[in-house]
Amino acid sequence: MSDLRIQQPHDDVTLGDWQYVHNMIIPTHLLSLDEVRERAQRHHLEVAYLGDALVGCSTVRPPSDDTRTATVIARVLAPHRGQGIGEELYARGLKRAREWGAKVIETVVLSSNEGGLRFACKHGFVEIERYLLPGDTVLWIDLRLS
């Protein structure tokens, strides 16, 4: 996919693009631009474009010192799924997590995101927990790479 461009968001425009994709995929947990700025300080964020079109984003939460567990999340807007974009975002996130010394890889998916669950299972993740965050009505599913 020669027109796919993936980069770290570096300004309010690209952080806003990351925010847009996140909020479209995770409508139960909308983030403000300030919250995205704060996340960019703690996590490795990337945003993906196909040509000039915004198509996806990713998050890698670094491994914790005690468990060496990192979380890798790839998100692709619905019209762009099934084109290999999620594969690329996931591969890049997995590589970053391993560069940081992760021994265990996890992901998290909303239970309503059937495509995301299929993607995670196809890549070897198995469910470890389901839970509701305060105020949420849709279950979150934590999965671990087996």
Please write the tens of the pLDDT for every residue from 58-105: 999 999 878 899 999 999 999 999 999 999 999 999 999 999 999 999
Residue 131: is its pLDDT beyond 70? yes
Taking only the tens place, the pLDDT of each residue in 21-55 is: 999 999 988 999 999 999 999 999 999 999 999 99
Nearest alpha-carbon partner for 27 in 136, 146, 142: 136
Cα angle at 22 between 97 and 35, to 5 degrees? 85
Dist CA 29 CA 52 (whole Å) = 27
Nearest to 26 by CA among 49, 62, 57, 63: 57
Tell me, rounded to whole angstroms, the distance of Cα 86 from its chain centroid.
9
CA triple 62-1-77, angle to 5 deg: 60
- Roughly how many angstroms between the first and final C-alpha of the chain, as a whole number? 28
Average pLDDT over residues 8-19: 97
> pLDDT category, 130, cuts 50, 70, 90?
very high
The answer, yes or no, to whether residue 1 has pLDDT greater than 70, is no
